[in-house]
């Protein structure tokens, strides 16, 4: 009897002890700090750290692909990142930019890692060039803007700012340190979005994978005496909206040496062109989907930071969505050939307009009001042409928009030519 | 012992008899005629039978949808099949077609079943109108061409041929009787393909689902005194190839009443526009995929013969390939709006050219050689514009091609205007 009781006692005790251990373990686990999301950083990165090599310690895959933008510069049919001279390729450009530094030096852009070298070596610089020209060429700017304030930064000359800057475009131009969140780092972009009633903090990650490119790949100008970098987006981002903004503001980049028109030089408006109802943008595709496709190195899968033309990686860039990559590459060629042919016709029309205006201006009997109208038409035509010409995709980012704009540009250029002839005040010979 | 032998004998006999029956059955089955492929026709259809109602006995689903083309005529934003007057919509057309019957009567086409009624009612007819104008308006033509020969048919007047014709466009325009094979029925198409070294007999069925539309939906002209229907494709089917063909042949449809230029009227070149490297054609899509989508009626699945704008059936027409139909319909709108805006700008340029040429021609001191150049430029500009304007898709069949052509058309129209001003021989006033 005692023996039987002893056994029951033993089993009960074991159960009680085990239950206690389990409860204690559960309480212990519940009180552990929550596991950190994401990856564990090897080193801490300072806020707005300019040196991408430090970020690279934590993100070696992204960093090593980013390094390739320094040396991996090749040419595509209409672009790429080989620094060929656009002026040698197409001598009309010398006439179109007469009086503007772009008529002296206009090279194809190289990869991100070369931006600082290239901006320092361009022949477009002079002693008055403002520090604003550094805005998009270095990862030093976010910290400098925070330290100096944008106005003081802009009011400094390029030359005087040079000793504070030694990094090319890098991690800090698009990422928040440590969280690696994609962020707007350019105050001009933040300001331009605010004026449109938009707040990028509410954008989705996929939207940010396009918007961070707009930190730089946009049309801009330097506003006022302090040369503050500004995006002309108050009316919208279509070329007509931008033109209206510049006209209302009375802005011009330079006076055309031959036609005398007050001109606008457009700069790489990739973001504006792509987001103007393009098929890819409307389908939810981001810049990074094509230009920074997911890639593999061994077992690691990451977004390539060797940002370049998708024509170098169609399988990765296009193949994620399109099953027939050869077909897609052929379409790029068809589209770009059409846009290129149309672009050159616009240039011929612009050159003819410039010559007619110059001829009209040489006549003592010229109708000055009509001459001025002709110059305004020249400005309107060339700002449209340049919106397509300076945009780095030969129309592919938005084929219908590019061709629509070029058709209008040619029309306006020919109207400028006709108005110049009218201004000559010619008479029917008796 | 006998009993045992008797049993063996019975079993053996049964086996032998059964084997004999099986062998006989197999021989009987082997000698049966092979089962017919395809469906069993209820009635036999004569070769080139013009009456679609007879074909409809065998193919009631296809026939009843075909019947809808008579009454189911609705308008889309830029087209459709409601017979609105294009001249009322856009009064520039009256100036552009001055001297041509299209300046008097130019309506949107209705569905296939109305083709015969509409061609007989158009105000563009006169007593000299050739029977060739019936070519694409009736299913009576294949049999008439076979019976009379194309030259005799063409040499007859429209009026004299009328009593032989009472059917609208129907089955015999695209199908071989009984086999229902898709075939080229228009001798002009057969001839045009031969001149390009192509034999449609070797085309795949999917290729034929585009090619049969080219029996009619093409640019054509009436060649020589016998007014033989001919496709101007000898150099190719791009607008530049067609223009070159007409220039070499010295052909013009009419002399422009205001500018005096020898003009070409382009007719519905849907096939040429679609096949000029469009994204859908290059991806292997046929006209019928979008315009005659597979549809259901109860358990029957068949290709709808209510041929019309896919904008009336985006779920069936686009949804087979595109998952987001709303997105696709939105893209059609973006593309067509861009093309329409550009098209109207081309028309303004053409009207200005016509007026300038007319003015120049009124001066006694006009430079006749330059005036002639201006007229040639007018012809070149308007043939391009019309290639897009007369094409029934407002550019959607090939957006890049349509916009490329319109940009060139505007450029040429403005050059015509400038050349006319030069022809005025104006002098600088002293």
| Total CB pairs under 8 A between chain A and B | 118
Of all residues in chain A, what percent carry a pLDDT higher than 70?
97
Distance from CA of A107 to the nearest CA of B (A): 27
A338 touches chain B (CB under 8 A): yes
Res A75 pLDDT > 70: yes
Residue A234, phi-psi category: left (phi > 0), alpha (psi -120 to 50), beta (remainder) = alpha
A430 vs A118, which has greater pLDDT?
A118
Nearest CB partner across the interface for B426, out of A277, A324, A428? A428
pLDDT digits over A347-404, tens only?
999 999 999 999 999 999 999 999 999 999 999 999 999 999 999 999 999 999 999 9
User: How many Å apart are CA A171 and CA B423, to the nearest integer?
Assistant: 62
pLDDT of residue A13: 83
On whether any CB of chain A is under 8 Å from the CB of B84, the answer is no
Q: How confident is the model over B139-168, as pLDDT tens digits? A: 999 999 999 999 999 999 999 999 999 999
**Contacts with B335 from chain A: Cβ below 8 Å:** 400
In contact, B107 and B88? CB cutoff 8 Å = no
Give the whole-angstrom CA distance, residue B107 versus residue B109.
6
* Angle formed by the axes of helices A399-423 and A325-361, nearest 10°: 10
Residues facing A336 on adjacent strands: none
> For the whole model, what pTM was predicted?
0.90
Q: Is the pLDDT of residue A298 over 60?
A: yes
A411 vs B365: CB contact, 8 Å cut-off? no
More confident residue, A363 or A8: A363
Residues A75-82: what's their mean pLDDT?
A: 91
| HSE, side-chain direction, 13 A CA sphere, residue A50 | 17
Instruction: Give me the residue label for tokens 């050059």.
Output: B415
Q: Which is nearest to A142 in space by CA: A99, A171, A115, A117? A: A171
Task: Taking residues A295-316, report their average pLDDT.
Answer: 93
Q: What percent of chain A has pLDDT over 90?
A: 86
Q: Is B248 exposed, middle or buried (0-12, 13-18, 19+ CB in 10 A)?
A: exposed
Alpha-carbon distance A99 to nearest alpha carbon in chain B (angstroms): 26
Please say whether the beta carbons of B358 and B419 come within 8 A. Answer: no
Is the model's pLDDT at A16 over the cut of 90? no
Instruction: Say what the pLDDT of residue B72 is.
Output: 84
């Amino acid at each position: 009897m005692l023996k039987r009781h002893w056994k029951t006692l033993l089993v009960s005790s074991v159960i009680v002890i085990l239950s206690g251990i389990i409860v204690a373990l559960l309480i212990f686990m519940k009180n552990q700090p929550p596991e950190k999301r994401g990856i564990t950083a090897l080193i801490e990165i300072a806020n707005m750290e300019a040196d991408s090599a430090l970020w690279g310690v934590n993100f070696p895959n992204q960093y090593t692909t980013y390094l390739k933008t320094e040396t991996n510069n090749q040419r595509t049919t209409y672009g790429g990142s080989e620094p060929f001279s656009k002026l040698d390729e197409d001598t009309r450009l010398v006439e179109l930019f007469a009086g503007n530094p772009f008529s002296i030096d206009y090279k194809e852009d190289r990869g991100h890692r070369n931006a600082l070298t290239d901006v320092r070596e361009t022949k477009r610089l002079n002693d008055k060039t403002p520090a604003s020209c550094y805005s998009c060429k270095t990862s030093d700017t976010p910290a400098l803007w925070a330290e100096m304030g944008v106005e003081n930064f802009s009011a400094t000359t390029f030359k005087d700012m040079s000793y504070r800057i030694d990094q090319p475009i890098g991690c800090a131009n698009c990422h928040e340190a440590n969280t690696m969140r994609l962020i707007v780092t350019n105050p001009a972009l933040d300001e331009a979005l605010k004026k449109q009633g938009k707040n990028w903090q509410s954008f989705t990650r996929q939207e940010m994978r396009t918007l961070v490119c707009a930190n730089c790949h946009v049309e801009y100008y330097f506003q006022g005496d302090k040369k503050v970098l500004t995006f002309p987006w108050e009316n919208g981002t279509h070329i007509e909206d931008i033109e209206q903004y510049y006209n209302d503001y009375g802005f011009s980049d330079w006076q055309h040496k031959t036609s005398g028109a007050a001109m606008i030089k457009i700069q790489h408006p990739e973001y504006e062109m792509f987001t103007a109802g393009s098929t890819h943008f409307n389908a939810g595709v981001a810049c990074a989907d094509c230009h920074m496709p997911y890639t593999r190195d061994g077992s690691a899968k990451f977004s390539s930071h060797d940002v370049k033309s998708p024509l170098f990686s169609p399988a990765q860039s296009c193949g994620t969505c399109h099953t027939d990559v050869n077909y897609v590459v052929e379409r790029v060629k068809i589209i770009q050939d059409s846009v290129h042919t149309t672009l050159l016709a616009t240039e011929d029309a612009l050159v003819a307009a410039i010559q007619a205006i110059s001829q009209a201006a040489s006549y003592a009997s010229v109708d000055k009001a009509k001459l001025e109208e002709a110059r305004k038409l020249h400005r309107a035509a060339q700002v449209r042409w340049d919106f397509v010409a300076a945009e780095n995709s030969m129309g592919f980012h938005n084929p219908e928009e590019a061709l629509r704009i070029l058709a209008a540009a040619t029309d306006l250029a020919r109207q400028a030519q006709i108005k110049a002839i009218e201004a000559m005040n010619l008479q029917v010979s008796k």
